[in-house]
Amino acid sequence: MSDRIVPDPVLRPASSRRSFLKYALGFSFVATLAGVLTPIIGYLWPPARGIQVVSGRTSVGPITDFPGGSGRVMPVGNRPVIVVNNPGKGIRVFSAICTHLGCVVLEKDPRVAYIQCPCHDGRFNPVTGAVISGPPPRPLPAYEFEVEAEEIYVGRPIGEVYGE
């Protein structure tokens, strides 16, 4: 008679099934944890953005493209600016990035006396960039600009732009 040990055909699959379930449960726990923690970490420590401030001037178009009271959001370098034509006060250029949480402000409607952020209804003075109402903690930073031969050229920001 032989002393060979014969594996129990009933226990072996159960053990394998148990291992598989253990690994599957572990994997789903880790995946869930990563899914929850990734956006939290991204919010708390946002990644550094590849910001490049334009060293030269950027033409944003002829002054006739900016009717009195209006403000247009335009790209300058890799940042949006809002170019406002204030009746009696002239052209102003501000960062179009809200100083609250970084939303891009709306184009200025000539019928209203403010620049509006659509996210939390922050409102800014179109002449000074100062906060009129809402949660933004700081004014919109102004940009250097020049008007030459009826063309508007935008330079560097004066002050710190949100996210830099």
Q: CB-wise, 74 or 98, nearer to ligand FES?
A: 98
**Nearest partner of 127 among 76, 75, 164, 85, judged by Cα:** 85
Q: Would you give the DSSP letter of residue 57?
A: -
Instruction: Kindly tell me which of 103 and 158 has the beta carbon lying closer to ligand FES.
Output: 103
Contacting ligand FES (CB under 6 A), which of 72, 100, 138, 156? 100
Residue 141 binds ligand FES, judged by CB under 6 A: no
Tell me which of 119, 132, 142, 158 binds ligand FES, using CB under 6 A: 119
Is residue 120 within the footprint of ligand FES (CB under 6 A)? yes
Tokens at 19, concatenated: 């291992």
Picking from 63, 60, 89, 64, the residue whose alpha carbon sits closest to that of residue 75 is: 60
Contacts of 61 (CB under 8 A, 6+ apart): 74, 151, 152
Residue 117 in contact with ligand FES, rule: CB under 6 A: yes
Query: Is the CB of 126 or the CB of 152 nearer to ligand FES?
Result: 126
129 lines the binding site for ligand FES (CB under 6 A): no
Torsion angle (degrees, nearest 10) of CA 128, 129, 130, 133: 130
As measured in angstroms, the least distance from the Cβ of 73 to ligand FES is 13
Count CB neighbours of 119 within 10 A.
16
Q: List residues near ligand FES by CB under 6 A.
A: 98, 100-101, 103, 117, 119-120, 122, 134-136
